[in-house]
Structure 1
Amino acid sequence: MLRLVPFLLLFSGACTGFQWTDTIGDGPQLEVCSGDPVKLYWYFNLTQGERLKVIEWKHQARGKHGHLVASYEEENFVPTADFSGRVSHGGTGAIELSCATVLDTGRHTVVVTTVDAAQSLSVHRRSVAVMINDSPKTKSGGLETRQEQKAFHDATTKEWHVRLSCGHFSDRGHPPLDVVWKTPDDGQLSSSDFSDGHFHLLVPNPVKGGNYSCGLPSNTPANKCLPQRSALYTDVTVYVDEVSARFALQEAQLQALKMQVENESQLLQAHLDVARLQVGFHASLGKETTLSDGDHLRSFSVVSNDGQAFNRLSGEFTAPVNGTYFFVGSTGTHTSSHHANMALMKDGIKVSETYLMQVGRNYDSSTVMGSCHAVLHLKNGQKVWLECTYDSTFWRGTVFSGFLISADN
């Protein structure tokens, strides 16, 4: 297996004072394969009169806060709980992390604090970016490719394609890799998407028949960590028959067109059914009725009820479809000092109201009439009714009517 090892950079410092030696310094990124040790060989020398106060090693993953890996103080090397058992001190500023994981990727830093003869503190720092590469993995140990039986519809381009798949990946590695597709004329294409452990390729139209191959890209970091004889190094090929592929695309287009026509036909039929829908009612109380504030006017005698949307017992109309409706309620009183006050209600909201009261002895034999009405937009299931708004006595000629003006498309 190919393994990546860190390089050593010799640092030439001043002849006096703290001096870094044999350090990986602030150089380029250090790459290590998952499972291998991360060797951070930072070394330094102290001059006469200078002593070490503390060494701290820190790790900061990308986009996250840094945290302590280990510290060295008073000749004691103390790893933190997260790194206990797999970090060791390699002398002065050097440490080694065993069995690297992708979680160790990020910036690693050593901070050395020293004290000179004058008791002055000095802080010295070195850091390096570390990338832990992890090889991809598949369920079979190698690559598998095939042509999917059904044509695939690209929602973006609105086109049908032959779709190839390559997998079955359980892990794309770190950093995650893509596969490379080769066409029958030795061209290269990138995957269209990745889902359910498979890379997919939408074959460009018009379909060109021949062998299409799928393989891992060369010289990618994750690829370098594969065992030398890994089956993942071998490309896999699928043959696409041009005639049958184009026939499958035509069949898929025809099936889609058929479904579109059927859906549009059903939608048109629904619109026609709504257009032919007749909804309307007319009802009266039939006898004088005394009610309290908030009571529904109910127990109507129905004259007509097209669409059966009016319930005579509850006095409620329930909209059968979304649309615009007209409603009117008419009432009166012919008894002196009696009220006949009611409101037209939509799902408990007052939309129209009438206020009637007969006064004076000269009017005892007369009837005072009034009405409340409204044009309302209702959704399917919404209700409309007449409601008493003050203790009232309603004349037997009280009526409630309504009808659908137009249904929504």
Structure 2
Amino acid sequence: MEPDVVIVGAGPVGLFLGVLLLQRGRSVRILERRTARSNRSRAIGIHPPALKELQRAGLASGLVAEGIRIPRGVAYSRGKRVAELPFSGDPGFPFILAVPQPVTERVLEAAVSALDPQALVRGANVHTLIDDGGTVSIGADSPSGALGFRTGLAVAADGAHSRFRERFEPGARARDYPDYYLMGDFQDTTGHGHDAVLYLEPDGIVESFPLPGGVRRWVVRLGAPATSPTAGGLAALVSARTGAAPDPATNTMLSPFGVQSRLASSMVHGRVVLLGDAAHEISPIGGQGMNLGWLDAAALAPIIDASLAGEEVGRDVRRFERARGRAASKASRQAGMNMALGRPMPPSALSARNRLFATALRVGCVSGLVERRFTMRW
């Protein structure tokens, strides 16, 4: 088969790029190792800049209809309200949208299928990728047998553990952070409505986000990796630090994770492009990774289209790499600041930091700057 573009990975980023290229009339194959969508909901937050790109592709309304609009973040510490930060700076999308990742993937996959029912190939485990300078040859195993593709361009959107990043960027070493977390979804009994809530506590931060269906996600910073996590253990940690009491019997997802970052020095390697987490893995604290990948895809799609039309795009490619590299660096620094905000502190130091934080957010220009940083409107 000889599609214009082959995308490896059918996560949110690969699917979105597929939609954008199919809308431009390009033939696309999206190769996904998984035989079915995962039910695990990790990435949930969609920020205004990504919503704008999704809107241009005709996808935002479907996601907004299935999500929860988070109008503001509210911070508490030891039972007292510290500050709040409205997410209202973007007039088109004055909120952060919370959507479970399986829902996001379902909406994107439906859009791909509507444009080309054959575009997504599940169960395709790519084992060979050869760039001969003129075309890219790709081989994959599948339940139905061997698959072979010859294409003008391959895009690796295969996530933070990308095999192709390891191949093209062997020197892109990961930076490990001393931060470990446990997150889980429970029935929401907090009374916080659609607010995102941060509990700034001496033993470390607890984050809480609303999800559709009366569910709330809890994320607790730990002092060490969680070895045998349980819903009851997470609920006990939340209760001890915040006073809230998630019911372990209502738990629908539980996931421990550590944090590392890895920024590729180049996204473009001949006729192969690294996209999203494959190009820049950053901390999930702050929910920027999926959004960063979508903005990558929105910037890349018109360049691919022009290249396939025979236009000279060398200068555009260089601008793309510089701009997306800067965006990834900003996102990584912001994620680092988010993690630092949540590390344990002595009570006296925490109180002083919280007073400074609250005073600063009462200044309009400071509040606006912080809001732009948190919503990726740099």
Q: TM-score range by the shorter chain?
A: under 0.3
Q: TM-score when scaled to structure 2?
A: 0.17
Which protein has the bigger strand share? Answer: 1
Bigger Rg, which one:
1
- Greater RCO structure (CA 8 Å; 6+ sep): 2
Q: TM-score when scaled to structure 1?
A: 0.16
Which protein has the bigger helix share? Answer: 2
